[in-house]
Structure 1
Amino acid sequence: MDVPQFPDDQATLWYLIRRVAGLLDRGGEALFQRELGISLAQFLVLSVVDAHPGPLNQQTVADRLGLTKGTVSRQIDNAVSAGLMTVTVAPRNRRENVVTLTAAGTELVRRGDAAFEREGAASRPELDPADVQATIRVLTAMNAALSHLHAPR
């Protein structure tokens, strides 16, 4: 793939991040629809809840995924209807709901993780581990700087 010419490295980086993110999203959407019959957004919500010990509230799930609370709420409603998740009133704050996975939700996440590993192993490019670590450091620094810059005041 030829990278279009941009005025500087920052613009090129922005373009490549967006392009890779879009390709990953499309691939993930196709994978989880085919393997599990659910959307990528649904799988991500289930995965975040699965990865956290104990119940989470909807806002925490939204924050961890960088999605709106409304988007996460729709995914939670779908998961509850499918028997993958439960929603209960938070014990410490009656105005807040907490979400937990059912056994079926946990099993679906395990199947999705396995499908992702199989698909990833077949389609990921060979990358030098040092390059991967450098990329993670750069993206972590950018995430921290941009999150701070755009944090609510």
Structure 2
Amino acid sequence: MAENPWDERAQLWFLVRQVASRIDRAGQALVRGEVGISLAQFLVLSVVDAYPGDLNQQAVADRLGLTKGTVSRQIDLAVAAGLMTVEPSAHSRRENCVALTDAGAALVLKGDAALADARSSLLPDVAPADLAATLRALGSLNTTLGGPPVPS
């Protein structure tokens, strides 16, 4: 009898990628349709909204688990669209700080409302015990792999 090539860690890797991809596609379609920007740009705007103050591109990238280059492209697009500003940091001449404009803040509110309205269709109901166990396991894996602790 052949050994199963899909050990539990391989299954975990595969399933996490599949679930994340499906959620991203659904979120992309929703945000693009309701707000008119990409999910990547909306996520960058959302992080800047959630952490006002001296926030630089690297901090945004770290919070999203993206490269600084990816975030930089999204910031450039947002600045060109009048959704964000980039100013030199008061603490370091080598860094820039990003902030939302009023239009950017309004777009985040609109996107948050659309996501809240669509949450049940984007993320189907999961038994509370299963959801709690999944959150604990993924949070633990994230931290073990070097990610920041997830606020509870």
TM-score in same-fold range (> 0.5)? yes
Structure 1 residue runs of 4 or more that deviate by more than 6 Å after TM superposition = none
**Alignment correspondent of 2:128:** 129
- What letter corresponds to residue 57 of structure 1 in structure 2? N
Residue 147 of structure 1, CA deviation: 1.8
- What letter corresponds to residue 87 of structure 2 in structure 1? T
Structure 1 segments unaligned to the other structure (5+ residues): 149-153
Equivalent residue of 1:79, what SS?
A: helix
Asked whether 1:83 is paired with 2:73, we answer: no
Structural mapping, 1:53-92, within 5 Å: 53-92=52-91
Deviations 1:108-137 (A, max 9, x none): 001001111112123432112222121111
Asked whether 1:41 is paired with 2:11, we answer: no
**Alignment correspondent of 1:96:** 95
Residue 99 of structure 1, CA deviation: 0.2
Structure 2 segments unaligned to the other structure (5+ residues): 148-152
Q: Aligned pair in 2 of structure 1 residues 135, 54: CA closer, same or farther (>3 Å)?
A: same
Asked whether 1:117 is paired with 2:83, we answer: no
Give the RMSD, CA atoms, in angstroms: 1.4
**TM-score w.r.t. length of structure 2:** 0.89
Equivalent residue of 1:30, what SS?
A: helix
Q: For residues 143 and 14 of structure 1, what CA distance do their matches in structure 2 show?
A: 13
Q: Is the 8 A contact 1:46 1:109 kept in 2?
A: yes
Taking only the aligned residue pairs, the percentage that are identical comes to 59
**TM-score w.r.t. length of structure 1:** 0.88
Equivalent residue of 1:147, what SS?
A: coil
Equivalent residue of 2:98, what SS?
A: strand
